[in-house]
Amino acid sequence: MGTIIDLSRAESYLDREELKEARAKAASVCRALYEKEDKDKVLGWRTKEASVLQLAEIKAKAEEIRREADVFVIVGVGGSNQAARGVIEALPRPEGPEIVYLGNTLSPYTIRKTLEGMEGKSVYINVIAKNFETLEPGSHFRILRQWMGSRYDREEMARRITVTGTKGSRLEEIAAENGYLFLQFPVPVGGRYSAFTPVGLLPIGAAGLDVDEYLAGMAAACQDCRENGEDNLAVRYGAVRQLLYRRGYDIEMLVSFEPRYGFFAKWWVQLFGESEGKEKKGIFPTASIYSEDLHSIGQYMQDGRRNLIETFVSVKDPGASVVVESCPEYGDRFDYLDGMDFAEINRAAEAATWEAHSRGGVPCIRFEVDRASERSFGELYYYFMVACAVSGELMGVNPFDQEGVEEYKRSMFAALGK
């Protein structure tokens, strides 16, 4: 197991006995997660067996996309694109198709610009929509089919379109009627828990990233969560954030000093926001990328209302080196940096922020990975999914539904005459 957690600066806000009790409770919720029957059909993400479907087909299609496409369009919104995007945008990729995202906006400007960017290029698409009822991916699929229809014949189009949806959905029927490859979105997996299903796997493979390593990360975290009772990372994190919540810490900010974790942070916000924010409960999840955001939100973190938890995602090896060379002739007064590597400078900024914020009254938590890699993303995704499921249960909400999201849709559909 590569990921480690440092809870010392959060546990210091809590009472020992209370912490012991909370960990035991969280461990029992976690154990039940693996032992109970999945009656409500929401736990398909727990194991590799239930979530990793059609791997051979996915790998073959990913190879073809890499070989043939100039542009690969991932059409999906929320849980249907965030996990893949989190890894794809963070890791260096071998040469291959440009990856673009649609199905996640209603902005005509963005749609038009994306279509213009595809002009004259070889395009493959993957439409991901669990029940094929969401407006954004559904409407974009129509636009893209029409766009492709005027450039490719029926057979060529069939090769270039892959759809990922649930069995029995209209999307499956459309795939069968038109000869598109159909990948399963397992019924017992909600969008935001779909990182290890075909929803995440085809885009990650088509981006040229190592799907097996990613799944190895998942397997390692899964083993930790199943076998290590009170000591696994998800339980330890889940217990501490629940206790802090009860003490009035109701905002949690995920922060990273690596901008490439920006889309990962968006995934994390969605996971916790949609899973916990219900029945007038929940820790409000938000995210910042430092050091840029230290110059905006940093003031509030240091000195604002004390209801904040700060969760750092740290990367030991940044994977690059930039040394500040000395140049006395400029007299810019930055000579104290001479000879230093930005790896060291960034690390110093992170350590200073951790110190200052925790001293200023912010419980700080740190997840640390050795380096950004398929494996470490596999671990992080899995740990946070289990922690979220455990945390939701402890909070007394259903972490697997999202009834609240339907509310705005009802008004929107009424306005659009659905």
Of the residues 39, 280, 295, 418, only one is catalytic, namely 295
Q: What is the signed CA dihedral for 371, 375, 378, 383, rounded to 10 degrees?
A: -60
Q: Is 177 a catalytic residue?
A: no
Q: What is the signed CA dihedral for 173, 176, 177, 181, rounded to 10 degrees?
A: 120
Q: Is 357 a catalytic residue?
A: no
Min dist CB 400 to ligand PA5, Å, is 8
Among 186, 191, 298, 399, binds ligand PA5 (CB under 6 A): 191
Q: Which stretch binds ligand PA5 (CB under 6 A): 115-123, 187-195, 260-268, 355-363?
A: 187-195
- 192 interacts with ligand PA5 by CB under 6 A: yes
Min dist CB 87 to ligand PA5, Å, is 17
- With beta carbons less than 8 A apart as the criterion, state whether 310 and 362 touch: yes
Min dist CB 368 to ligand PA5, Å, is 27
- 402 interacts with ligand PA5 by CB under 6 A: yes
Supply angle C-alpha 182, 185, 186, rounded to 5.
125
Q: In the complex with ligand PA5, which residue's Cβ is closer, 14 or 287?
A: 287
- With beta carbons less than 8 A apart as the criterion, state whether 237 and 283 touch: no
Q: Is the dihedral of CA 395, 398, 400, 404 positive or negative?
A: negative
- 137 interacts with ligand PA5 by CB under 6 A: yes
What six digits make up the tokens of 137? Answer: 């991916």
- Find the binding residues for ligand PA5 in span 22-81 (CB under 6 A): 77-80
Tokens 């649609």, residue located: 102
- Find the binding residues for ligand PA5 in span 266-285 (CB under 6 A): 274
Q: Is 409 a catalytic residue?
A: yes
CA distances to 243, 258, 343, 352, 353 from 295, rounded to whole Å, are 30, 15, 20, 14, 12
Among 104, 126, 134, 358, binds ligand PA5 (CB under 6 A): 134
Among 44, 97, 186, 190, binds ligand PA5 (CB under 6 A): 190
Q: In the complex with ligand PA5, which residue's Cβ is closer, 191 or 285?
A: 191
Q: What is the distance, to the nearest Å, from the Cα of residue 307 to the centroid of all Cα atoms in its chain?
A: 24
- With beta carbons less than 8 A apart as the criterion, state whether 377 and 264 touch: yes
- 130 interacts with ligand PA5 by CB under 6 A: yes
| 188 SS3 class | coil
Which residue's Cβ lies closest to ligand PA5? 191
Q: In the complex with ligand PA5, which residue's Cβ is closer, 13 or 272?
A: 272
- With beta carbons less than 8 A apart as the criterion, state whether 237 and 17 touch: no
Min dist CB 271 to ligand PA5, Å, is 8
The catalytic residues are 274, 295, 409
Positions in the binding site for ligand PA5 (CB under 6 A)? 77-80, 129-131, 134, 137, 190-192, 274, 402
